[in-house]
């Protein structure tokens, strides 16, 4: 069952030099209880997709087209008061480096309790009990709720932020680079914890990361973003087995493979383009070693290769 459908979403930032086309005609969907990954280099528009879904745009952000259907209702048409109710209760977000967002002068448990009080009409004792439950859920001793943020390690702060995001039992959690600021061991623990919680609570998740290898084990499906476009989308296994787009192929070739033959790692030449005047045709063409003449002139449409796997590249025509 479809929980979220993003249809032809366009989100631009207005600047004195023109519109930055951060999200340009993107469509994907998330089924109930599934995990979808959005991967791409910094600045490709992943976070802009997340804040568009929650309508948490900065003052110069403009949604210029498309629909965002959550359980069939268009979030872009909802009044702000209804949207405020829906945020956190139905859809919550774990922001990039959110652990630094904990208020240093309040006890962490109190900050989680505050998030519950704002969204749910619970009595003092029930809120306290819910905070205890949440601490246990994310693998922390509830007694640590009395501590201040400076008494927590980085991993513990991130667990507290995850607890806060789960406080109202949302149906969809968006995790935007949830482990980027942590060392690899803690990264692994947090990703495992999130997967366990996702299975246990049955919620759907959108993971956003620049690191395709982190999402490989976690996501049912994955979308690859490049310069504001979704250039490939498919089941994770199919996308790893047979990446269709040259950018996805290059991304995968830049990570070591622990199984199979040893191979030389390669990097993607050049820089991602500016999004005020993105390259015409295929936006990847200035960096693509397989480009054809048509690639500089015509934007490739989506080609479906398997039922659940498609990509936008002229090579697939």
Residues that bind ligand SF4 (CB under 6 A): 245-246, 282, 284-285, 288, 290-292, 295, 300, 313-315
CA 265 to chain CA centroid, nearest Å: 26
Instruction: Report CA Rg, the chain.
Output: 20
DSSP-derived secondary structure letter, 146: G
Show the tokens assigned to 31. 């089924």
The least CB distance from residue 245 to ligand SF4, in Å, is 6
316 three-state secondary structure = helix
Q: In the bound complex, what is the minimum distance in angstroms from residue 231's beta carbon to ligand SF4?
A: 7
Q: Considering beta carbons, is residue 22 or 282 the nearer one to ligand SF4?
A: 282
Q: How far is the CB of 244 from ligand SF4 (least distance, A)?
A: 9
**Residue 14 CA: distances (Å) to CA of 64, 117, 268, 307:** 11, 36, 29, 37
Comparing CB distances to ligand SF4, the nearer of 132 and 292 is 292
In whole angstroms, how close is the CB of 296 to ligand SF4 at the nearest point?
8
Q: How far is the CB of 226 from ligand SF4 (least distance, A)?
A: 9
CB-based contact 163:137 (threshold 8 Å): yes
- The H-or-E segment that residue 106 falls in is none
Nearest to 108 by CA among 35, 172, 159: 159
As to burial, measured by CB atoms within 10 angstroms (0-12 exposed, 13-18 middle, 19+ buried), residue 266 is exposed
Closest to ligand SF4 by CB, 56 or 294: 294
Nearest to 151 by CA among 143, 18, 176, 97: 143
Q: Closest CB to ligand SF4 among 181 and 253? A: 253
Q: Minimum Å distance from CB 288 to ligand SF4? A: 3
Q: Give me the DSSP letters along 213-252.
A: HHHHTT-SEEEEEETTEEEEEEEHHHHHHS--SHHHHHHH
Cα 241 from Cα 177, distance rounded (Å)? 24
> Nearer to ligand SF4 by C-beta: 237 or 294?
294
Q: Which is nearer to ligand SF4, 14 or 293 (CB)?
A: 293
Least separation in angstroms between CB 170 and ligand SF4: 36
Cβ closest to ligand SF4, residue 157 vs residue 285: 285
């Amino acid at each position: 069952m479809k929980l979220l459908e993003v249809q032809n979403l366009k989100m631009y930032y207005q600047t004195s030099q023109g519109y930055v086309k951060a999200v340009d005609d993107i469509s994907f969907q998330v089924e109930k209880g599934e995990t979808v990954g959005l991967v791409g280099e910094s600045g490709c528009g992943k976070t802009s997709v997340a804040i568009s879904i929650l309508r948490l745009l900065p003052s110069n952000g403009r949604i210029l087209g498309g629909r965002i259907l959550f359980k069939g209702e268009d979030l872009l048409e909802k009044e702000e008061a209804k949207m405020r109710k829906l945020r956190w209760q139905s859809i919550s977000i774990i922001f990039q480096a959110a652990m630094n967002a904990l208020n240093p002068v309040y006890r962490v448990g109190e900050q989680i309790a505050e998030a519950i009080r704002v969204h749910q009409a619970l009595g003092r004792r029930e809120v306290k009990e819910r905070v205890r439950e949440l601490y246990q859920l994310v693998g922390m001793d509830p007694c640590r709720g009395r501590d201040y943020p400076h008494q927590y390690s980085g991993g513990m702060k991130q667990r507290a932020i995850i607890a806060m995001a789960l406080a109202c039992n949302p149906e969809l959690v968006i995790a935007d680079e949830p482990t980027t600021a942590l060392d690899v061991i803690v990264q692994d623990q947090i990703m495992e914890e999130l997967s366990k919680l996702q299975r246990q609570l049955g919620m759907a998740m959108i993971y956003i990361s620049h690191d395709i290898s982190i999402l490989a084990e976690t996501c049912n499906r994955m979308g690859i973003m490049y310069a504001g476009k979704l250039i490939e989308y498919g089941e994770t296994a199919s996308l790893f087995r047979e990446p269709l787009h040259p950018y996805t192929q290059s991304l995968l070739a830049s990570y070591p493979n622990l199984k199979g033959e040893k191979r030389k790692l390669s990097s993607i030449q050049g820089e991602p383009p500016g999004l005020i005047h993105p390259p015409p045709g295929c936006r990847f063409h200035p960096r693509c070693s397989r480009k054809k003449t048509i690639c500089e002139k015509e934007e490739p449409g989506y080609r479906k290769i398997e039922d659940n796997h498609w990509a936008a590249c002229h090579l697939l025509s």
